[in-house]
Amino acid sequence: MTDIQDIKRRFSCKDVLKLKGIDTPAKGNAPCPICGHGTSTPCFGIYGNGQRYKCFSCNSAGDPISLYQALFQCNFKQAVSDLKGRAGL
Ligand SMILES: [Zn+2]
């Protein structure tokens, strides 16, 4: 198993949001943690067993690693290394 598969197995998008201190509802959409839109009409959703996210306001979409990059303002390599560290890998 690659590091990336391992990270995705351990972290859902919801887990990544929690690392940033953001709690998301178990069901339905939420305000977008990336663009900040959607406080009146929630536009950010998590799909596919927590492995995909999409915002209908800013059109950002991806997996837990790209969500980590967006929230913590880092590149892919840094995100993988941070998440590995957090998972104790
Ligand atoms: Zn957004």
pTM value is 0.92
Q: Is 90 exceeded by the pLDDT of residue 22?
A: yes
User: Residue 34, Cα to own-chain centre: how many angstroms?
Assistant: 10
Q: Is 80 exceeded by the pLDDT of residue 1?
A: no
CATH of the domain at 83: 3.90.580.10
Neighbours of ion ligand 1 (CB under 5 A): 32, 34-35, 55, 57-58
What local confidence, expressed as pLDDT, does residue 28 receive? 84
Residues in the chain: 89
Q: Which domain holds residue 27?
A: 3-87
Mean pLDDT of the chain: 94
DSSP 3-state of 45 = strand
What local confidence, expressed as pLDDT, does residue 58 receive? 97
pLDDT tens column, 23-72:
887 778 999 999 999 989 999 999 999 999 999 999 999 999 999 999 99
> What's the gap in Å between 89 CA and the centre of ligand 1?
30
> What's the gap in Å between 39 CA and the centre of ligand 1?
11
Is residue 46 within 8 Å of residue 14, measured between CB atoms?
yes
